[in-house]
Structures are given as structure tokens and as C-alpha cells.
Structure 1
Amino acid sequence: MDRPFLGTEALGAGTVTRRTLANRYEAVYRNVYLPKGSTLTAATRAEAAWLWSGRQGVLAGLSAAAAYGSRWIDADEPAELFRRNGKPVDGILIHRDELAEDETRLVAGVVATSPERTAFDLGRRRGRVRAVVRLDALAQATGVRAVDVHPLIQRHPGVRGLVQLREVLDLTDAGAESPQETRTRLVLVDAGLPRPQTQIIVAGNFLGRKHARIDMGYGDFKVGVEYEGAQHWTDPAVRANDIDRYAELATRGWIIVRVGADLLNRRPHVMVARTCEALRIRGAQWPVLARILRDRVA
């Protein structure tokens, strides 16, 4: 029993006794248990909430996204359900909207909103950057595209948040592999630069591998932008690999703008300026480059 289960069902089946249920398991929600010491993830919390509903609810929002395999969802976030009746409960956010039949799907035995409906709901929530982060992760997990969500906008014309949703859908990119990569991309776009391509493949001999991937960039000009988490600086093996990888990319004509947490969070204008300078060196003649570089000097 490494997945959530209903205590009454386990007792009825003789799988556990009342004593073992009390001693070896802990309640996530009323009558829903996990083994003590289990790591509670967003996905297991979502399943536990669905069981709590008597298998009558529909996973929604972040819980639906977690069921589809979206990453970067905090397990401490409340579970979310569409449920027409029943009282609220701590740790579960209840939505009471009506769902069309084609807006739900069975995922690993659990009913959840479809990827399209999940994107429709998450993309309307306040906080543009956070919404793009959520939809990037959902798109990577499910392959859902903006064009798949547009029919729901037509179906629900009066709901709140549609202006943001349209913008978020236009910005969503399944190539982002972390929230920091999403935020890095948005900084470039918000500065006025063309939208960068994500997950650029560069053929070559990269420590025995036939290619390398660059987080994002402008392939026509061989300018890449990479977000580097802490492991790139603290893990010796990762650090050594990065040194060799960047050397090989340089021999193939690439300029890589490397971005860390400090640059992204405190000095994003520096990241933008470095990217613009690299593009200028490589022959890009976009008017936005002159403007940004001129403003930097001023």
C-alpha cells in the first residue's frame, strides 16, 4: 500500500487491522491513508483527495497537472477538485463549476480535467509569470498546445482571466525544463527581443555524445542562453562536463550567455544586454538591439 487508500475499504477487505492502520499508517484526509514516513507528492495528494471525494470528484488545476506528470508543483499546495456538493475541507480546494463531458479524462484510474481544460484553468490564475511556468510544465508533460485550448475560450467567453490566458498561451513553450528557464525566456521576450528557440540541438563530439542541447537561443546567429542551477557550480562532475561542453560549442561558433540565480533575479538587464551584444557581434541587425545597448550605455 504505497499509494493512498481508503481505510474503510482496507479494513473491509482484511488488508489491514485497526491496530496496524493506527500504528503503521497516517491519514492524509479523513479515511484516506498512506504508510507513515511516505513522501507526500503533489500527485499522491491529488489521488488522496479524489479518494476522499468518494471517487466522485474530478482533479482540477495543479492536482490535475500533477496527475499528468507536471513537475515543479509543491506537495504542500492544497489538492484541487471539481465537486458539485459537499463541505470544504482543510487541504482541499473545491471548485463547483460545471464541466462538459469532453473536459475530463481518466488518468491512471483517476478522473481529472483534460490537459486542455487544465491549461484553461491554470492560465487564467493571477500572476502572468507563474501561469506561464505552470503551462510550460503542463505542455512538456502532456504535449498540450495553445491551439488545443482555444476552443474552450470560445466555449466559456465570460469567465475571468481570459485576457491573461490568451497572452500566456502565446508565451507557452514545452521546451522549458525548469521554472528558471521559463523566467529567463520571459525576461528576453519582455525586453523586446524575438522569442528564442528552446532546446537547440548542436551536433558534435560532446564527451562521446553526438550532440548537445542548449536551453534557448537564436540558432541563425549561433547565440545561446543557458540557465545554470546550483549544481552547475557545486557538483565537480557537472562543472567538468560544462567546461568541456562550452569549449566544444565555442569551436562550433557558438556564443553562450550563462545565467545564474543572481543574474536572473537581481540583474536581468545585464543578461539582456549580454545577449544583445552577442547577437550584434554575430551580425543581427534588429532595431531592438541598438535601443537596448544604447540605453545600457546611457
Structure 2
Amino acid sequence: MEWPFLGTEALAAGTVNRYLLSTRHDALFRNVYVPRGQAVTAADKAVGAWLWSGRRATVAGLSAAALHGAKWIDATLPAELNQSSRHKTTGIRLHSDALADDEICQARGVPATTPARTAFDLGRRQGLTMAVVRIDALRQATRLAAGDVEALVERHRGARGVVQLREALALSDAGAESPQETRTRLVLTAAGLRPTHTQIEVFDHYEFVGRIDMGYLRWKVGVEYDGPQHWTDPSIRNRDLERRARLSALGWRIVHVNAEMLRYRPAVIVGRTEAALRDAGAAACRT
């Protein structure tokens, strides 16, 4: 049986009985169930919230982003719906925005705000850094262009948070593949060293060597965020060492960033990147 599902509908169809419903399923929301012990994703919660609404609401915000395939969305956060009713329930955040017909689409069979409208909403909340992180993730998952969102800014002039949204759009980049990559790029951008390219593919003649998170193609300077797996997984670590040697042989200078540096020592990231650019021959690096 597909899930999440409405308990009343499953009982009426004879798919489950009350005993199985209570012993082998968990209530996600009132009358909405999932298999007991099942790991529930943000997209699952989005569908469950829509079912809870009686299939009347439009999935919005982070829930819409999840349905569009955006990653890194915390499944413990409330699901988000747009509907006129103010009836509330635990675990669902309700909005009552007026949505134009072209701001709604179908995502996984569920009515949801379009990627552009979703970015318009997410980019106005939670502070600039988080807004960029969320827009980056949405652009990575879809073919959303900044111009698509800017058209909505013009349509909804005067909406709360549009000043932040405009800045977030200017800072966003579809090449970010993790929140930490976005944060690394923002540290460099704030220092006047915005990377000129993201997800740079490097080849040795016709052989693919690797992809660099971000960098400065003209100067062959790259910046990479290394997650913990790069240090704790021996197979990944060995591949990294080989890849670094090949990149170095091709003339690339790579600045490596980790969580500790990003959180506590961003100046080190800036300093090392600036030094690498200077060594590569970039005279006036900062913009």
C-alpha cells in the first residue's frame, strides 16, 4: 500500500483493519499514517500534510522544495501548506498567501508552488545565508533561473522580505551541491573573492580527472569543501590523494575547507584563497 495514506480511506477500502492500523502504523498527522518505524522524509511529510488538508491545500515553502527534489531539508521541520483555513495542527505550518494560477504546479502528483514561487517564499525568510542555501538547493534540483524569481518580485512589489530576496538571488548559484559549499562561497564573496565558476570539470586530454566545487578557472585555483567522509573513509581518502596529485600536475592550486575552518576561521579560507590566486598570477584579486 502506498503511503502516507488516510486511515479512514484505508479502513473503508478494507486495505487495513483497525488492529493493523493501530499496531503496524504510526500517525504522521491526524488520520494520516505511515508504516511503523519507517523513516519519513520531508517529501513524505509534504504529501501527508496535503492529505491531512483533505487534498485541498497547496504544498508550499520547504515542503514544496522537497517535492521538487531539493536536498538537505530537515525532515523534523514542520510541513508547509498554503490554504485559507486557519485550522491548525502540530507539525504543519500554514500560510494564507494569494497564489496566481501560474504559481502552482503538480509535483509528484500533488499541487505545490512552482519552483519560482517556492524560491520567492524561501528567499524572504530565515536570514540571508539560509535564504541563499535554500535557493541554491532548489536551483540545483530544478532548472530554475534567477530571472524566473525576479519576475515574481516585480509582480509582488512591496511583499515582505523582497529586499533580502533580491540579494539572495544575486548571491545564489545552481552549482552548489551542499549547504557547506554555499556557505564557503558566501565567505569568499563577502571578502570580494566570489568564485567565477562552480562544479569545474577538469580533464587531462580526454580523460576526466575530477570536479572541483568552485574556483577561478582562468587562474586554475580551486576551493573545495571536504566533509568528514573525506577524512574518515579510507577509500575516499585514497581517491582524494590520487586526484589531488593529478590536479597539481595539471597546474591547479586547491584550497581545502573543512567544517571547523568554515565555522571558526573563515579568515583562513580567505587568506589561503587570496594567496593561491596571487601565486597563480592574479594581481588584484578582490572585487
- Give the TM-score range, shorter chain: over 0.9
Task: Please tell me whether residue 17 in structure 1 is matched to residue 24 in structure 2.
Answer: no
Q: 1:280 aligns with which of 254, 258, 278?
A: 278
Contact 2:223 2:256 in 1 (8 A): yes
Choose which of 230, 233, 239 in structure 2 pairs with 1:235. Answer: 233
- Matches of 1:31 and 1:243, distance apart in 2: 53
- 3-state SS of paired residue (1:65): helix
Segment of structure 1 superposing worse, 221-230 or 11-20: 11-20
* 1:205 to partner: Cα distance: 8.1
Instruction: Quote the Cα distance in structure 2 between the aligned partners of 1:126 and 1:30.
Output: 28
Q: TM-score, normalised by structure 1?
A: 0.94
Q: Show the 5 A alignment for 1:209-220.
A: 210-220=208-218
Structure 2: give runs of 5+ residues left out of the alignment. Answer: none
* Deviation string, structure 1 residues 82-125 (Cα, Å, up to 9, x no partner): 01114111110000111100000011110100000000000011
- Tell me which moved more, 248-257 or 13-22: 13-22
1:161-191 CA deviation, whole Å, 9 max, x = no partner? Answer: 1111001001111110110000000000000
Amino acid across the alignment from 1:30: R
Following superposition, the deviation at residue 196 of structure 1 comes to 3.2
Give deviations 1:226-280, integer Å, cap 9, x for gaps.
0000000010000000000000000000000011111111111011011001100
Alpha-carbon separation, structure 2, partners of 1:119 and 1:109: 20
In the other structure, the counterpart of 2:64 is 64
Q: For the residues of structure 1 that align with 2:211 and 2:201, how far apart are their CA atoms? A: 5
Distance, in Å, in 1 between the alignment partners of 2:61 and 2:132 is 14
2:150 pairs with 1:138: no
Match of 1:260 in 2: 258
The residue type equivalent to 1:227 in the other structure is Y
1:156 and 1:204 mapped to 2: Cα distance?
Answer: 49
More divergent stretch after superposition (144-153 vs 223-232): 144-153
Task: Show CA shifts across 1:117-158 (max 9, x none).
Answer: 000000011311111000000001112111011111111111
- Cα pair distance change 1:225/1:287, threshold 3 Å: closer
Distance 1:179 1:241, change over 3 A: same
Change in CA separation of 1:79 and 1:29 when aligned onto 2, cut-off 3 Å: same
Instruction: Find runs of 4+ consecutive structure 1 residues off by over 4 angstroms.
Output: none
Verify the 8 A CA contact 1:139 1:173 in the aligned structure 2: yes
CA distance in 1, matches of 2:205, 2:76: 43
Q: What is the deviation of 1:281?
A: 0.7
Question: Aligned residue for 2:44?
Answer: 44
How large is the Cα RMSD of the aligned pairs?
Answer: 1.4
Aligned 8 A contact 1:70 1:137 in 2: yes
Aligned residues of 2:209 and 2:246 also touching (Cα < 8 A): no
Residue 153 (1) aligns with residue 153 (2)? yes
What is the CA-CA distance between 1:287 and the residue it aligns to?
Answer: 5.7
Q: Give the letter aligned to residue 166 of structure 2.
A: R
SS at match of 1:169: helix
Residue identity over aligned pairs, in percent, reads 57
TM-superposed deviation, 1:2:
4.7
Partner of 2:99: 99
In 1, Cα distance between equivalents of 2:32 and 2:219: 55
Separation of aligned partners in 2, 1:286 and 1:199:
24
Query: Residue 165 in 1 paired to residue 162 in 2?
Result: no
CA distance in 2, matches of 1:237, 1:136: 29
Contact 1:2 1:35 in 2 (8 A): no
Question: Which 10-residue stretch deviates more, 192-201 or 257-266?
Answer: 192-201
Q: Relative to 1, partners in 2 of residues 1:229 and 1:287: Cα closer, same or farther, differing over 3 Å?
A: closer
| Partners of 1:205 and 1:178 in 2: CA distance | 29
- Find the aligned partners of 1:237 and 1:205 in 2 and give their Cα distance: 26
How much does 1:19 deviate?
1.1
Instruction: Describe the shift of the 1:81–1:204 C-alpha distance in structure 2 as closer, same or farther (beyond 3 A).
Output: same
- Assess if the C-alpha contact under 8 Å between 2:70 and 2:140 holds in 1: yes
